[in-house]
Amino acid sequence: MRVALFITCVNDTLYPHTGQAVVTLLERLGVEVGFPEAQSCCGQPQFNTGYRHETEPLVRRYAAAFHDYDYVVAPSGSCAAMVRDNYPRIGAKAAAEGRGQELADAAAEAVPKTYELTEFLTDVLKVTDVGAYYPHTVTYHPTCHGLRMLGLGDRPRSLLAAVKGLNLVELPGADECCGFGGTFAVKNAAVSAAMGADKARNITATGAEAVCTVDNSCQMHIGGTLARQGSTVRPVHIAEILASTEGNVW
């Protein structure tokens, strides 16, 4: 089983700690992982803002970087969803515009092997108890792309429920978007901020010490809003919780 990490540009640049947690976790579970350095961004900011053509080199790069692997694991629901949902569209449109089948083939190859981290743990490795220890009260925010595009369902919650010492509290309005939405946060700043403020208030009201997500980009928005509100709740990626053990709380 050849497993590659797709660490994503946001994780790589701003949240390397999350990527390190993914490495720690997967290696603890006996998976040997590779990090092909030719990898880059999935192209989501460009695609979702309307610059589909700008994403094409990144689709090609993704396919080439992970060509030799059986599985690609990403600690990001939205980046995994970008590959799974939108790469086929990008490939099909390029073919329809008369630029040949090459991109469609590259996209088709990338789709089936791309997994979000919690999917990989539960569906491929078939584990829900990863032997983690995290003695904190945590609430879980299911990010939109993980929830609706990937259909992660109960996977993240069942992984968290199996963590020793972790007290999982329900988040009111959990299924509602936090308001990040990539360039939406800048283009419609007022609405994005209003959505974020409501989400942050709901999180704080749970009394949790930490809010867990499967996506650092949503976490950046939620964490930034919480911090501005003066809340002490810390945003934490699920990989960081799952990587924690009794000897080493992440």
Q: How far apart are CA 185 and CA 168, in angstroms?
A: 29
205 binds other proteins (CB under 8 A): no
Q: How many CA atoms lie within 13 A of 104 on its CB side?
A: 11
Query: Does 88 participate in binding other proteins (rule CB under 8 A)?
Result: no
Rounded CA-CA distance 197/199 in Å is: 5
Tokens of 21: 């947690």
CB neighbour list of residue 196: distance below 8 Å, 6 or more residues apart: 178, 179, 180, 221, 222, 224, 225
Q: Is residue 128 at the binding interface for other proteins, with CB under 8 A as the rule?
A: no
CA distance linking residue 250 with residue 14, whole number of Å = 17
Q: Between residues 161 and 189, which has the closer beta carbon with respect to other proteins?
A: 189
Contacting residue, 95, 125, 174, 227, with other proteins by CB under 8 A: 227
Segment near other proteins (CB under 8 A), from 1-9, 113-121, 134-142, 163-171? 1-9
- Least distance from other proteins to the Cβ atom of residue 53, Å: 7
16 binds other proteins (CB under 8 A): yes
Minimal distance, residue 242 CB to other proteins, in Å: 17
Among 6, 24, 25, 47, binds other proteins (CB under 8 A): 47
Taking CB under 8 A as the binding criterion, the range among 49-57, 127-135, 205-213, 240-248 that sits at the site for other proteins is: 49-57
Give the nearest distance from C-beta 199 to other proteins in angstroms.
9
Count CA atoms closer than 13 A to 37's CA, side-chain side.
Answer: 0
Regarding 197 and contact with other proteins (CB under 8 A), the answer is yes
Q: How far is the CB of 185 from other proteins (least distance, A)?
A: 6
**Does 133 contact other proteins by CB under 8 A?**
no
Helices 52-65 and 87-96 pack at an angle, to 10 degrees, of 120
84 binds other proteins (CB under 8 A): no
CB of 167 to other proteins, least distance (A): 27
Per-residue contact track with other proteins, 157 to 196, x per CB under 8 A?
------------------xxx-xxxxxxxxxxxxxxxxxx
> Among the residues of 66-188, which ranges form H helices?
77-81, 87-96, 102-113, 117-119, 144, 155-161, 184-187
Sign of CA dihedral 69, 16, 217, 31: positive
CA distance 151 to 52: 24
Q: CA-to-CA distance for 168 and 106, rounded, in angstroms? A: 40
Residue 76 beta carbon to other proteins: minimum distance, rounded to whole angstroms: 12
**Is 40 one of the binding residues for other proteins (CB under 8 A)?**
yes
